[in-house]
Structures are given as C-alpha cells and as structure tokens.
Amino acid sequence: MELVNLKDAQDTASFSEAVKRGLGKQQGLYFPTHIPKLENIDELLEMPFAERSIAVLRAIIGDELNNGELEEIVNTAFAFGAPVEQVSDNIYTLELFHGPTLAFKDFGGRFMAQTLSRISEGKPVTILTATSGDTGAAVAHAFHGIDNINVVILFPKGKISALQEKLFTTLGGNIHTVAVESDFDECQSLVKASFDDPDIREGLHLNSANSINISRLLAQVCYYFEAVSQLPKEKRDQLVISVPSGNFGNLTAGMIAKSMGLPIKRFIAATNANDTVPRYLKTGEWAPKKTVATMSNAMDVSQPNNWPRIEALIEQGYVDKSCLKGEMVDEEYTQLAMRQLAQLGYTSEPHAAIAYRAVSHDLEDGEIGLFLGTAHPAKFRETVENVLGTPISLPKPLADVAGEDSLAVDLPASYDALKQHMLDLLKA
C-alpha cells in the first residue's frame, strides 16, 4: 500500500510507515494513492464480520502484513459485533458501541494498537491524543498493558461526564492522563504544538491515535460492509447513511467503502450547531466559526480534520460530490429526535439522534436510511435521562469504574507545562 501526504506529494509512505508516523510533513494526512474496486461485493457480504474484514483490509493494505498477522490483528481487534437495529419502517441504526468502552472508536483503537505493537519492532512509542471522551477511553483500553508503548491523553477538565472520564483515567500503568484547565479546542492545540516540537516528536517517538491515523480509518471502513450485510438485499442499492458530527473519520471511511463498490446511494453529514460542513456544502466557502458547546460535543467539529481526505475522494473521482449532503440539527431538534426515538422504543444519545433527525427528514421515496449509533446512551446518562425523563441503567464497563478514583494530573493550558510533564514522565 502506498500513501501520499495530501499537503506534500513528495512525502509518501507505506502502510506501516504511515501508521508509525501518524501525520506527514506539515501535519498533512496520508491518503491512499489507489483505492481498489472490489468485484465480489455480494460474496463478501455473505461472510462473517471478521473474515470479511480481513478480505477488505487485505485488498487495501496489500501484503505488508502477512496473512497470519492480519488475521490475528482483526480477530483480536474485532472481538465484538456491530448489529443493525430497525427503528422504523424504513430507518435502521448501526450500533457501534458493543466494544469494551461502548463507542465506535473501539474498532479503530484496537486495530491500531494491535497493528502498531507488531510493526514497532519493540521500539518505544508515545501515543498522544486529545479527547472529548470516547477517543480517550478507546485508545486507553486498546493500548493498556502493551509493551514499549506509552499513552498520554489530554482532556478538558470538568467538561466531560464523570463516567466517561473514569473509563480512561483509572487504568494507570502505561496510560497517563492529563486534565487540561481549558476546553476541547485547547487540548487539540496542545497536541498539535507537541507534534510541531522536534524535542517531543522525535525525542518521545510521538504518534497520534485519532482517526487521522490511517490504521484507525481503515478499520472503520469494515463496519460499513457489516452494516450493509445485515440490511434487506432488495433495498441495499437505495441506502442513505447519516453520519453524526465529529472530525468525520466515520464519513471518510464510509466514502472509502462506497469507492470500493459497497452499494451506498448517498451520505448525510449531520452536525450540531457547529455547522462548518453543511454551510460549506451549500456555499462552497470554508468558514469555520468558534466552537459552540452542545449536548453532542465532539472534537474538531468546527474544523473536522479528516475533511481533506473527503475532498481528495471527490477530486480524484472516487465519489461524486452530489452523493454528499450536509444537515445542521440544533439543540431543540436534537432533544425532539431523542424523544421521537424513545417513542419508537429506541433509546439514543445526542450524536445518534442528530443523525436520525437528519436522515428521517431527507429520505426520498424508495430509499432506506441508516444512522450511526456511535456511543452507548449510558455514556451520556445525565443528558439522556434529563431529556427523556426516565432512568437508564449502567452497562457493566461503566458500572465497574463508577467507584474508582481518577489518576489524572491537572495542568494549565500551557504548552511549556505539558512539555515538561511529558519529559519528566517519559524521557529515559
């Protein structure tokens, strides 16, 4: 597999190199020079999840990982399902929260951890990432206990739910967590500053574990095939997928799946009040605004850092721009969507509710909708209970950490403070 830096065409990498580097020069994203078109889609859709995922990933990655390695990685990483549930006559949801941290990021986090542990050849690696909750938990659990890999997770102090926080701040060992006295955007800025600093980037062998890492992105492609495999065969070619806002790694992965031949008619990029993408798709003007806090907070929602990959997919002719539409859903309609789903017998958290609202109001005659359920509603327990007025029970992973103490270190929103902390912590 050959990848090219979207900011510097001279900066190329193999799959293994791109996984280890995370980002290219000028913080550019790596993108495949070729996305294969699969001719055996129907046959693939009949396979079990893990077996099919191995075939899809083999087609993309090539022979950099031998058959035994790839099988081992996938079987370890994808050790849980991604069921499709029907919520109305023509709308379904893909539940991506059946892994150990109850969020879609378990798939990509675990795939990356297993891949990196095999290709790093025992050399030390420091994973640095910022989180609004789900990334931190998925990455922490995926890498916990892996030799020669340390993880540093930044999160905004007091701005994510206590239960979400405890999923990743209570592990200890090679998992180091920092509560930054600021907001999500500042956490991300600190991460970017670290990658710009050679003392940290080279000195601590820095790598990123969010969906800008190609390994996480490719893992996400696999569950789109799983989703389509569970839908009625006669309706597959009329499928509209609604993806909730974040940095749109999920949207990128879905469009790669479509590029490979998966029968997806079109996509909806569903956002909260941070509507950079819907506005851009309507006007052609990329005009990010300062991030507004909502009940569906997510990293990079105002400036989704996977967007250059989506642009590349369109510019290189893999997908047509007409297959993508943006839709903003405000707080009032997010709550309304949560209540509507509850009336249909389905409990949802705000991100999925936004995706549901967008697709339910956009389907044309004969189309079927699928929205991504990216996190278990219990991860947003307080919000969900307040909106619905009914209690929800805690699944085991959350119940197990509820009474544990956080091991996070408090730091000001200062790059100098973070740099010193990381050097003191990790420099041999």
Would you say 132 and 160 are in contact if contact means Cβ atoms under 8 Å apart?
A: yes
Quote the DSSP letter at residue 416. H
Question: What does the pLDDT read at residue 31?
Answer: 97
Per-residue pLDDT at 298: 67
Write down the residue that tokens 């967590």 correspond to.
177
- Comparing C-alpha atoms, which of 22, 6, 3 is closest to residue 139? 22
Domains of the chain: 83-101+214-388 (3.40.50.1100), 105-210+403-426 (3.40.50.1100)
Given this model, what pLDDT does residue 133 score?
77
Taking CA atoms, 349 is separated from 270, 315, 355, 383, in Å, by 14, 34, 11, 8
**Structural tokens at position 98:** 């059946």
Q: How many helices (H) and strands (E) does the chain have?
A: 18, 14
Residue ranges of the chain with per-residue pLDDT less than 70: 211, 298-300, 428
Distance CA 351, CA 243 (A): 9
- pLDDT at residue 428, as a whole number: 59
**pLDDT for 188:** 86
Amino acid at 4: V
Contact (CB, 8 A) for 321 and 314: yes
- Residues facing 84 on adjacent strands: 94
Label residues 218-245 b or e (16+ Cβ within 10 Å = b): bbbbbbbbbbbbbbeeeebebbbbbbbb
Instruction: Give me the phi and psi of 292, to 5 degrees please.
Output: -105, 130
Residue 212: what pLDDT? 84
CB-based contact 115:126 (threshold 8 Å): no
Q: To which residue do tokens 């001719």 refer?
A: 39
Of residues 371, 366, 362, 292, the one with CA closest to residue 327: 362
How far is Cα 217 from Cα 194, in angstroms, rounded to an integer? 22
Q: Determine the pLDDT at residue 67.
A: 79
- Amino acid (1-letter code) at residue 296: S
Q: 177 near 136, Cβ under 8 Å?
A: yes
In this predicted structure, what is the pLDDT of residue 135?
83
